[in-house]
Amino acid sequence: MIKMKSNKKQKIIALLIFAITLTLSISARDYYQLKVYNLKDKSQESVVDKFLKDAYLPALHRAGIKHVGVFKPVDTSDGMKIIVFIPLKNIDQFEKLETSLAKDKNFQTDGSEYINASWENPPYERMESIILKAFSEMPEFAVPNHNTPPLERIYELRSYEGPTEKYYRKKVEMFNEGGEITIFNNVGSQPVFFGEVLSGSTMPNLMYLTTYSDMKSHDEHWNAFRTHPDWKELSAKEEYKHTVSKSVIQLLHPTEYSDL
């Protein structure tokens, strides 16, 4: 009798553990860091490129981050910059990353020129770090599938700023429950990520990254999105009016050493 009760208790505990594990796996969402290096000239660009290619990306790979995106603007009239996309499984991974890099002797050696740059000759003008959490309808980032050379590929990074937190949350809802992400998928775009900005300079805002094999494909897919009947219906809904007060659109090329 005692043995039967013990077995029953063990089964209940096992079921509870399974249920908790399943719930956590379903609700888990990626975190992302976007690092933006603002540069003044080709000299700084060269130093940052070398650091990212030879030291930073290899160190991130050793730390368990397999796919890191590195991008540059198609149009540099607003200034030179390099944007680094770092996908993370949880915020704890982000917190431990700097400690991991500090202990990585290869990273310290390979990145010496950048790490030990003098105050008179810094490798960049300013650097911005943006932290995001993946949308519930796309909880993990996606690795795109392209056959074209990197310099032909187009990545489009968009930031939608809301006038208030309330309007911003409605725009996030529009992507998730409203079905905007579904429309991107239905027209054949390749979203890399959709994310809520948790820390950044233009909050409240969301950001997302889509990608295309070339500029022709980019234009065709966006035209298909704008004319899609589901988008016309969704964008006409009164509840989603005035949710974006400013949009910032950047067309990017991946670098030759980018993982994406």
CA distance 27 to 258: 29
**Residue 13 covered by a domain:** no
**Residue 55 covered by a domain:** yes
**Residue 1 covered by a domain:** no
Residue 126's Cβ-side half-sphere holds a number of Cα atoms within 13 Å equal to 3
Q: Minimal CA–CA distance to 249: which of 129, 40, 74?
A: 74
- DSSP notation for 197-251: EEE-SS-SEEEEEEEESSHHHHHHHHHHHHT-HHHHHHHT-GGGTT--SEEEEEE
**Residue 5 covered by a domain:** no
Mean pLDDT throughout 158-164? 98
pLDDT in tens, 105-150: 999 999 999 999 999 999 999 999 999 999 999 999 999 999 999 9
- CATH number of the structural domain spanning residue 57: 3.30.70.100
pLDDT in tens, 174-187: 999 999 999 999 99
Phi-psi group of 188: left, alpha or beta (phi > 0 → left; psi -120 to 50 → alpha; rest → beta): left
Report how many domains make up the chain: 1
CA distance 245 to 27: 30
**Residue 20 covered by a domain:** no
**Residue 14 covered by a domain:** no
Q: Which residue has the higher pLDDT, 53 or 21?
A: 53
CA distance 73 to 45: 12
The yes-or-no verdict on residue 188 having pLDDT over 50 is yes
pLDDT in tens, 72-87: 999 999 899 999 999 9
Q: Which domain holds residue 98?
A: 29-254
